[in-house]
Amino acid sequence: MWRKALAPILGATASVLLGIDQTGAAENFNVKTLVPTFGGATSVGANVSTILALRLWTTLRPRPNPNPNNLFFGVGQIEWSERVIEDSPDAALQVANETRSHLALWGSVEEYGRGVVVTASLAVPTGQAVLRARQTWTVTVQDIRLELGVPNSSYQFSPLVLTSDVVAKYSRPNQVRICQNKDPNCNGPALRAPFRAIKLEGDFILVRQPNGSIGWAPLPNLSEAQGEVVDFTAALISYLRGDFEQAESYFSKVRDSNAESLVRNDASLLGGISRFRRGQGIDALRTAQRQNRYSRYGVQALVMADIAAAAAVDSSESRAPHLKEAGELIASYRHLFDPGDRWLADVDRSLRILN
């Protein structure tokens, strides 16, 4: 149930930007993820959303290591806001579009017995061209552009059931604290906004406070379900940034977990696309499509991979297996598309050209 939320966020009056510092590009955030305050009657939601935002920040790598191909994935941003998204996924998508965010991770806290349950959801807006561009995979055949975005516009993750000790620790405002040493039971001053994350070491993050002081904040594992929330969101952030190696790694964790069906199925398909787009072959995508035989998106992804693979080689003999597979998929699944579907018409044209 979607409920109106009331919690403040650690005394913040605006938002906190957690970005990757790059010389000359520190404010050029080209993938932005909004993490509003999680709603609820206590401060647990505010503190949980803080921890999740910091955990996501730790995944924003600018380059792989090692980096023989001199790749650069741009600059990432986690915007952590006091604003609470109310009521529904549609409201989350609206706020994400208003803030020109590529993603929005939002949620709420519900009391359950002596503990609480945190429901986290992810919104993936497509209302603006600048957002759609990051989501789109394009395959070109002569003057034809085949395009494929992401499978869904919203996801709901498995509930985070918080243990009594976590609830006790984070049920009051400002319970994310910092210390000079990496102490899991840190009882130092409260983390104040706006702050800047500096680096991660293990389960601790080094942050700079508004007064310039520096200290370590612990990043606890809230529950097993936190892994699903962070891994899938981090995977999608990586995918949008073109970091397909990291995207595949995180999507694979979700695929192999006990995640809900929609999240796991989409993780399997996007992991296969990530692997193909970084030049590691088509087999993982074939496996993902066969495990999701009723997914139109899975058909589109595998057909585009086959067309891309066929277009990349000159030999008709090498093209033949890919064109055969793509043609058979379209013949078998044509009923999933509207008669005037533009993507389907462009696929038909591309196959005629390549044959």
pLDDT digits (tens, 9 = 90+) for 300-315: 999 999 999 999 999 9
Quote the pLDDT of residue 35.
92
Per-residue CA distances from 252 to 148, 222, 275 (Å): 20, 21, 10
Q: Are 92 and 106 a contacting pair, CB within 8 Å?
A: yes
Q: Are 146 and 350 a contacting pair, CB within 8 Å?
A: yes
Report the alpha-carbon distance of residue 322 to residue 285 in Å, rounded: 13
Say whether pLDDT at 25 is over 70. Answer: no
Q: Are 229 and 55 a contacting pair, CB within 8 Å?
A: no
pLDDT digits (tens, 9 = 90+) for 117-162: 999 999 999 877 777 888 999 999 999 999 999 999 999 999 988 8
Report the alpha-carbon distance of residue 135 to residue 350 in Å, rounded: 22
Q: Which pTM was predicted?
A: 0.88
Other Cβ atoms less than 10 A from the Cβ of 221: the count is: 12
Q: Residue 21 — pLDDT band, cuts 50, 70, 90?
A: very low
Q: Which residues pair with 116 in a beta bridge?
A: 111, 162
All structural domains of the chain, each given as residue ranges with its CATH number in brackets, are 15-141+154-181 (3.40.50), 224-354 (1.25.40)
pLDDT digits (tens, 9 = 90+) for 203-226: 898 988 888 889 998 888 888 888
Quote the pLDDT of residue 16.
63
Q: Which residues pair with 215 in a beta bridge?
A: 207
Q: Residue 40 — pLDDT band, cuts 50, 70, 90?
A: confident
Say whether pLDDT at 12 is over 60. Answer: no
Identify the residue with better confidence: 351 or 20.
351
Identify the residue with better confidence: 63 or 304.
304
How is residue 128 annotated by DSSP? S
Q: Please provide the average confidence, as pLDDT, over all residues in the chain.
A: 86
Beta strand spans in the chain (E): 15-19, 31-36, 76-81, 103-112, 115-123, 137-141, 144-148, 154-156, 160-162, 196-201, 204-208, 214-218
pLDDT digits (tens, 9 = 90+) for 166-186: 887 777 666 788 899 998 888
